[in-house]
Amino acid sequence: MTVLITGAAGFIGFHTALRLLDRGERVVGIDNVNDYYSVALKQARLDQLLEHPGFTFHRIDLADREALPALRPELRDVDRVVHLAAQAGVRYSLEHPFAYVDSNLIGHMTILEFCRHQPDFRNLVYASSSSVYGGNTKLPFAVEDRTDSPVSLYAATKKANEHMSYCYSHLYGIPQTGLRFFTVYGPWGRPDMALYIFTKAITEGQPIRVFNHGDMMRDFTYIDDIVTGVIASLDTPADGTPPHRVYNIGNHQSEPLMRMISVLEDALGMKAVTRMEPMQMGDVKETYADIEAIRSDLGYEPTTPIDVGVPRFVEWYKRYHGIN
């Protein structure tokens, strides 16, 4: 049988597809390859995936409700879905709200309907976000905490996805797992994320913008650890009533932003010029994942601290951009 991965040209989708292909799975990837960030980077990821004989790709937009159903004859063997396609970014949502409605709400419904009508369907794993915790000040964030006060439209759409999925599990018995990702980083990462932005600026001799004057903390989670959790969720479908569950998936360690910058400086052998700025609208001061639920149920255990992960990212960044 076959796994469908949406957002296959994206950061997490690319790495998840590689892991599944390496263990002998057949994978179908879909992505609209939009220009939210570098299309060249997305295409470079796809080029690697297309080297695998078990991978096929379709460029479609899930906001087009007819595009995925039109592919159903070619997707008849799909029995599992990893749904990672979404419009990401907290700050971008302040200026482009309808991109989030189209990608995150309509796109999620498109996938739910696909799964509902797919014969012998086994499991859907989908991306939520730590952003759903909003301005929550209780740390670490636990899946039982209230998530009804989002501070960005992005967060609101991700919480809506959880509700939509719960509903479809209840109505149609579709096994589903939502994963609240915490600040994912690593090789082939997104250019809109802090680590990539900082690395680019430092190597080009430009100042880095440090929000809330550096008084921020993040649960930085290395991509390999994230993929391990995604695949564990895919291999072990929810079996409750309804068969829907939500997990935090993070590193279970909240690091000061300034420490991450220090580790990055050491990896680059260069000092950053910092420009301290106030907190950005829609942002949160600290994230910290309580991972006890996914640890207990699936044996998930992150193994990569930033002292290891950041240098690996820098090594990839230099190679990809041809920096000696």
In-domain check, residue 318? no
In-domain check, residue 320? no
How far apart, in whole angstroms, are the C-alpha atoms of residue 281 and residue 112?
32
How far apart, in whole angstroms, are the C-alpha atoms of residue 103 and residue 66?
14
pTM passes above 0.85: yes
φ, ψ at 218 (rounded to 5°): -135, 145
How far apart, in whole angstroms, are the C-alpha atoms of residue 69 and residue 117?
10
Q: What is the CATH number of the domain that holds 168?
A: 3.40.50.720
pLDDT by residue, tens only, the chain of 324 residues: 999 999 999 999 999 999 999 999 999 999 999 999 999 999 999 999 999 999 999 999 999 999 999 999 999 999 999 999 999 888 888 889 999 999 999 999 999 999 999 999 999 999 999 999 988 888 899 999 999 999 999 999 999 999 999 999 999 999 999 999 999 999 999 999 999 999 999 999 999 999 989 889 999 999 999 999 999 999 999 999 999 999 999 999 899 999 999 999 999 999 999 999 998 877 788 888 999 999 999 999 999 999 999 999 999 999 999 998
In-domain check, residue 215? no
Q: Are 31 and 42 in contact (CB under 8 A)?
A: yes
How far apart, in whole angstroms, are the C-alpha atoms of residue 243 and residue 176?
6
Nearest CA to 136 among 26, 287, 20?
Answer: 287
Per annotation, catalytic residue among 36, 154, 196, 222: 154
Q: In this predicted structure, what is the pLDDT of residue 58?
A: 98
The domain of 247 spans 2-186+220-253+288-304
In-domain check, residue 15? yes
| Annotation says 36 is catalytic | no
Q: In this predicted structure, what is the pLDDT of residue 286?
A: 86
In-domain check, residue 270? no
In-domain check, residue 283? no
Amino acid (one-letter) located at 83: H
In-domain check, residue 103? yes
- Number of domains the chain is built from: 1
